[in-house]
Amino acid sequence: MDRRRFLLAGSAVASLGALGLPRPDHATAASLPAGGPRPRPTPQQLRWQREELAMFVHLTVNTFTGKEWGDGTESPAIFDPRKLDARQWARTARQAGFRSMILTAKHHDGFCLWPTATTKHSVASSPWKDGHGDVVREFTDACHAEGLGAGLYLSPWDRNAKAYGSGEAYNDYYIAQLTELLTRYGPIVEVWFDGANGEGPNGRRQAYDWPRIHATVRRLQPDAVMFSDAGPDVRWIGDEKGVAGETCWSSIDPASVPYPGYDRPWVGGLLGHGDPHGSAWRPGESDVSIRPGWFWHPEQDGEVKSPDALMELYFSSVGRNSKLLLNVPPNRDGLFDPEDIASLQGFAAKRTALFATDLLQGATVRASSGEAAPAVLDANPDTHWSAAADAHDGWLEIALPRAVEFDTLELGEAIALGQNIANYRVERWDGGAWQPLAWGTTIGHKKLARFDPVRTSRLRVLLEFAYGTPRLARVAAYRGPDRRYGPGHDEK
Ligand code: FUL
């Protein structure tokens, strides 16, 4: 069936009309996809998205050479992170509110951070712990001890492996490495596949066997999600800046990015926005580094992103239905730098300060139709308000016993049942009329909107158009410490 065929949506605008509101043009012109269930997340994808924050850890020979991409000729003798303390990384991550971590077990240079049987190009040939160390072991143990999920990055592009570019021999080598990583270290929550496909030591490129790679992960770690620009479980957001599209669907047409590393000029934008008609649930992950580089370089001390910059990233990723994967690179001692830790602590403190008090608590909620409207006020993402099953729009009105002042609004869709809402409007009561407050497109797991502080006792959320039943799990309002209250935003 062609999912992009459209039908006329007569009933889609009825409930907004009942409120005396203008009917949105695109809804009256009415386009709804024909039939077919809309995609929903698996329990693993849902868990992954609800974590909101994950930490990337880039460490390899590059940490000692100053490069971003090693060429595979580095001697293991240079790898000696003498004070390496993975527990320090995991503690820092947990205290800053991160829920999982992903380590570069092997980057493009081919150096393995665990004592693998597949090559001598590993920690076993390094002076670190006299060749008896295992960074992957220390990392996974630390994650598990701190209650964090452990994830691994295993670069398919390998500039050291002799077999790279030879076909099956390298695919066997890669699968053997993957098998070691997925069988020795307990539960792995995410496997991160970089699509880079450059030349190996013999100048040849490798045709990666993605079906076999994916089947290996499914067999050995069925609860792990697999990341790449082509999924299959979670997708790259299309940039390395931590910025999701303002419109961001968790669904995508799998045929539009058929394999990892599918490099086309339009792919970045497509991954940023997703596709409301896509048949695959494949939410976007926004990866970005706290420093200019992915690896630690001494000359980049002083360029660590500030707590305010990290807050901006939180709004542009988590606040747009994506997940933030923030890289924090260990230094040559194998430790996070104090500067990076201070910034992460500041980031956590700013989130705590902003989101400490939901000012809509104690409100009453009326809705266009359906039941359980008050469910939007509790923080439980599994309870929600739903419009009538065949509705394509709806509204909620939230009335407080007293006026409250706020500058940040949170909306959340009941994504366990899919993502349907295509645009919304939020208005505040000024004592005599409804005034526009926020307007946007997708909502998804979390949508955050910021504006100059306003004071009001009534709000309404207008879901102007949804491809399937509109369902909201969350409406919350917060007053941050950073914005000044201006004149003219008061309820009269
Ligand atoms: C990229 C790699 O080439 C970078 O070195 C880094 O690992 C980043 C997360 O992915 O594609």
Evaluate: CB of 229 within 6 angstroms of ligand 1.
no
CA–CA separation, 368 and 360 (whole Å):
19
Ligand 1 geometric centre to CA of 228 (Å): 11
CB 351 within 8 A of CB 97: yes
CA–CA separation, 149 and 144 (whole Å):
7
Ligand 1 geometric centre to CA of 435 (Å): 45
Residue 205 has pLDDT above 70, yes or no: yes
Evaluate: CB of 194 within 6 angstroms of ligand 1.
yes
Where are the extended beta strands (E) located within 97-173? 100-106, 149-154
CA–CA separation, 362 and 55 (whole Å):
36
Ligand 1 geometric centre to CA of 161 (Å): 18
Mean local confidence (pLDDT), 385-399: 95
**Three-state DSSP class for residue 319:** coil
Tokens of 125: 């040939």
453 upstream amide cis, omega within 30 of 0: no
pTM: 0.94
Ligand 1 geometric centre to CA of 377 (Å): 40
CA–CA separation, 442 and 253 (whole Å):
17
Residue 16 has pLDDT above 80, yes or no: no
Question: How many other C-beta atoms lie within 10 A of the C-beta of residue 2?
Answer: 9
Could you report the per-residue pLDDT of 18-37, keeping only the tens digit for each?
A: 565 554 444 433 344 445 68
Going from the C-alpha of 247 to that of each of 311, 316, 475, the distances in angstroms are: 19, 11, 19
Check if CATH label 2.60.120.260 holds for domain 364-478.
yes
Could you report the per-residue pLDDT of 298-351, keeping only the tens digit for each?
A: 999 999 999 999 999 999 999 999 999 999 999 999 999 999 999 999 999 999
Residue 216 has pLDDT above 60, yes or no: yes
CA–CA separation, 421 and 281 (whole Å):
15
Residue 386 has pLDDT above 70, yes or no: yes
| Spatial CA neighbour of 176 closest among 111, 227, 116 | 116
Mean local confidence (pLDDT), 465-484: 93
Q: Which atom of ligand 1 is nearest to the CA of 58?
A: 7
Mean local confidence (pLDDT), 417-423: 98
Could you report the per-residue pLDDT of 60-84, keeping only the tens digit for each?
A: 999 999 999 999 999 999 999 999 9
Could you report the per-residue pLDDT of 72-131, keeping only the tens digit for each?
A: 999 999 999 999 999 999 999 999 999 999 999 999 999 999 999 999 999 999 999 999
Residues with Cβ within 8 Å of 209's Cβ and at least 6 positions away in sequence, in order, are 171, 175
CB 345 within 8 A of CB 96: yes
Residues with Cβ within 8 Å of 433's Cβ and at least 6 positions away in sequence, in order, are none
Evaluate: CB of 285 within 6 angstroms of ligand 1.
no
Evaluate: CB of 197 within 6 angstroms of ligand 1.
no
Which ranges in the chain are annotated with CATH 2.60.120.260? 364-478
Evaluate: CB of 67 within 6 angstroms of ligand 1.
no
Better-predicted residue by pLDDT, 423 or 483: 423
Check if CATH label 3.50.50.60 holds for domain 3-355.
no
Q: Give the residue whose CA is nearest to atom 10 of ligand 1.
A: 194
Which ranges in the chain are annotated with CATH 3.20.20.80? 3-355
DSSP string, 243-275: ---SS--SEE-GGGS-STT---TTHHHHHHH--
Residue 483 has pLDDT above 90, yes or no: no
Query: Pocket of ligand 1, candidates 60, 194, 291, 325: which has the most ligand atoms within 8 Å of its Cβ, to mutate?
Result: 194
Ligand 1 geometric centre to CA of 417 (Å): 33
Evaluate: CB of 196 within 6 angstroms of ligand 1.
yes
Q: Which residues on neighbouring strands pair with residue 466, listed in sequence order? A: 421
Residue with tokens 């309404």: 460
Ligand 1 geometric centre to CA of 194 (Å): 7
Instruction: Report CA 160 to chain centroid distance, whole Å.
Output: 31
Could you report the per-residue pLDDT of 128-175, keeping only the tens digit for each?
A: 999 999 999 999 999 999 999 999 999 999 999 999 999 999 999 999
Could you report the per-residue pLDDT of 365-382, keeping only the tens digit for each?
A: 999 987 678 899 999 999
